[in-house]
């Protein structure tokens, strides 16, 4: 049997590890804080409050959906609570399109928000040094 056939026949998880959810929330909060580095005048502050409100709304809706899933999960899901992130990442995740490795799924979920958060931080640092250098 090939490695691919063994992987295809192994059981796949149908949930994302809670640490991945916490990382998404942390990166979203980092993005909001780094976006506030661009606050300079009243108009910018107003727009940043609106954008921050949208991001917090998305985080609240996502958290509410996760909480409902947590309260109504399967009875045999107790083993999922105690699984380590390393074990989850080494296994497979069953999505509606395909079966992917857990670590690949985590990377695909975290990469966009991480790129935006780190990029916004870098742009804020550049703005900070160029704005004070121009004055």
pLDDT in tens, 9-50: 677 888 888 899 889 999 999 999 998 888 777 778 888 888
Provide mean pLDDT across the span 53-64.
89
Write down the pTM of the prediction.
0.78
Q: Is the model's pLDDT at 90 over the cut of 80?
A: yes
Confidence at residue 78, expressed as pLDDT on a 0 to 100 scale: 57
Taken in order 93, 95, 100, 103, the sign of the CA dihedral is negative
Domain extent listing, the chain: 14-73+84-134
Distance from the Cα of residue 65 to its chain's centroid:
15
Beta strands in 34-127 (DSSP E): 92-94, 99-101
Q: Which residues of 1-36 are buried (b: 16+ CB within 10 A; e: fewer)?
A: eeeeeeeeeeeebebbbeebeebbeebbebbbebbb
């Amino acid at each position: 049997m090939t490695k691919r056939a063994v992987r295809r026949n192994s059981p796949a998880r149908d949930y994302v590890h809670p640490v991945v959810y916490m990382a998404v929330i942390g990166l979203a909060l980092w993005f909001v804080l780094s976006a506030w580095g661009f606050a300079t005048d009243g108009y910018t502050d107003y727009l940043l409050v609106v954008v921050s409100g949208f991001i917090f709304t998305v985080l609240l809706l996502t958290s509410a959906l996760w909480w409902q899933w947590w309260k109504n999960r399967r009875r045999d899901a107790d083993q999922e609570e105690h699984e380590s992130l390393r074990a989850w990442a080494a296994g497979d995740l069953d999505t509606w399109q395909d079966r992917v490795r857990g670590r690949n799924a985590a990377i695909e979920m975290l990469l966009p928000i991480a790129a935006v958060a780190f990029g916004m931080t870098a742009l804020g640092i550049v703005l900070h040094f160029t704005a004070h250098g121009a004055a």
